[in-house]
């Protein structure tokens, strides 16, 4: 495959929905930090767009410098390269975790502070953070009602459970047991064998 690269975003890209990393094939959760997006023209297949997870980003340029621009199967070639040049890279993959926190009756500042504490704790423990706070226009109350959503809180919960499927662990902030959605997320995490973590 000969590729003419017409644009490349070095700045982190925040994705609205999960994507597969074009290089390692792992899921990039919605809202993941450090993601890059490439777009270009494949001489044989035309325009393309692909996403790179934060773990693969540091290796992309050295990979292309190594293989040139003739790659029949990108993921297969990337795995071969990494196994040869960086043995054990698969074992260094970080685990992913989501945050479940009560929000009713709290100010935006209180919610943000609790989330920042949880995020810092998960990072300290070596977990990659999976977003479960949906604030873009697609999840605004008006947009959901326009799509026919009747139970707006249930729509948020459904999206959180979808993102839970990408996780190895779930972190529950103080007061989770008093929030209906958090209790359901807790039951799901326990039932499906996620590692369950609690704020001290």
**Do residues 181 and 116 share a domain?**
yes
| DSSP SS3 for 46 | strand
Which of the residue ranges 112-121, 159-168, 189-198 has the most confident prediction, judged by mean pLDDT? 189-198
* Residues 86, 99 within the same domain: no
Q: How confident is the model at residue 130 (pLDDT cuts 50, 70, 90)?
A: confident
**So what's the pLDDT on residue 94?**
66
Same domain, 70 and 119: no
Out of 71, 91, 111, a domain closes at 91
141 φ, ψ (degrees, to nearest 5)? -55, -40
Query: In this structure, are 34 and 9 located in the same domain?
Result: yes
Q: What are phi and psi of 129, to 5 degrees?
A: -90, 130
User: Which residues does 84 contact at the CB level (< 8 Å), separation at least 6?
Assistant: none
**Distance from C-alpha of 28 to C-alpha of 31, rounded to nearest angstrom:** 8
Residue 156 contacts residue 185 (beta carbons within 8 Å): no
What percent of the chain has a predicted confidence (pLDDT) above 70? 85
Q: What is the domain extent for residue 176? A: 95-198
Categorize the per-residue pLDDT at 9 as very low, low, confident or very high, splitting at 50, 70 and 90: very low
**Does pLDDT of 12 surpass 70?**
no
Q: From residue 158, give the alpha-carbon distance in Å to each of 18, 128, 138, 155, 182.
A: 15, 21, 14, 5, 12
The pLDDT value given to residue 45: 65
Do residues 102 and 16 both lie within one domain?
A: no
Q: Are residues 128 and 63 in the same domain?
A: no
| Max avg pLDDT among 6-10, 103-107, 168-172 | 168-172
* Mean pLDDT within 174-186: 94
Please tell me whether residues 135 and 159 are part of one structural domain: yes
58/155 Cα distance (integer angstroms): 36
């Amino acid at each position: 495959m000969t590729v003419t690269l017409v644009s490349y975003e070095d700045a982190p890209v925040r994705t609205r929905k999960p994507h597969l990393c074009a290089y390692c094939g792992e899921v990039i959760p919605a809202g993941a930090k450090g993601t890059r997006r490439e777009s270009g023209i494949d001489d044989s297949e035309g325009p393309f767009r692909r996403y790179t997870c934060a773990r693969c980003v540091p290796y992309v340029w050295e990979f292309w410098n190594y293989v040139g621009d003739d790659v029949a199967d990108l993921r297969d070639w990337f795995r071969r390269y990494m196994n040869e040049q960086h043995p054990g890279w698969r074992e260094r993959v970080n685990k992913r975790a989501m945050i479940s926190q009560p929000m009713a009756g709290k100010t935006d500042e209180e919610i943000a502070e609790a989330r920042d504490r949880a995020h810092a704790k998960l990072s300290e423990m070596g977990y990659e953070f999976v977003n479960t706070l949906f604030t873009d226009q697609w999840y605004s109350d008006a947009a959901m009602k326009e799509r026919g959503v009747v139970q707006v809180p249930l729509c948020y919960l459904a999206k959180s459970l979808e993102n839970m499927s990408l996780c190895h662990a779930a972190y529950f902030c103080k007061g989770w047991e008093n929030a209906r959605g958090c209790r359901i997320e807790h039951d799901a995490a326990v039932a499906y064998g996620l590692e369950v973590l609690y704020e001290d």
